[in-house]
Amino acid sequence: MGQHLRIDVMTEDDLGSVLAIERQSFDDPWPAEVFRAELRHSWSHCHVLRGEAAAVVGYVVFWAVADEVHLLNVAVDPKVRHQHLGRKLVDYLSAFAAEHEARFVTLEVRRSNTAAIALYESAGFRSVGVRPRYYANNDEDAVVMLLDLGSTSQVGKLPGRESGA
């Protein structure tokens, strides 16, 4: 599948495929209205990953506001998982953030979603906190993760694993 992949801007025509992936991926899926709202917001970026025959095999939705990019939603069709497609979408997000001179990328992820946490960690994200009972459908905590792209704050860069953190 690798040689036929491309990332495009999501359109209304993609929503059927995106919603199918969303429903297969999450216990509390976004409804169509939420995706439609994201398509309308000037600060929201919605992209699809296309595979063979231009079929949607994944998507990513994120906000770019001031010097921050915030990941809202990312998923890959269960039929094509374990092919590093999620990593391709996360790398796309990180490259977008760097190109647009964002200082950091943030996200929240369910504490129980160990596969997603491992993916984000492999892409350079670090856990920086917890939002207790963040998810309304089951009161699960969210792990807050951050990818520091060169913060100029007084705190400086976040410590990485190599520094013993």
Q: Which residues are catalytic?
A: 108, 120
CA distance 23 to 18: 9
Nearest CA to 22 out of 70, 59, 72, 55 is that of 59
* Burial (CB count within 10 angstroms: exposed 0-12, middle 13-18, buried 19+), residue 90: buried
β pairing state of 44-50 and 6-9: antiparallel
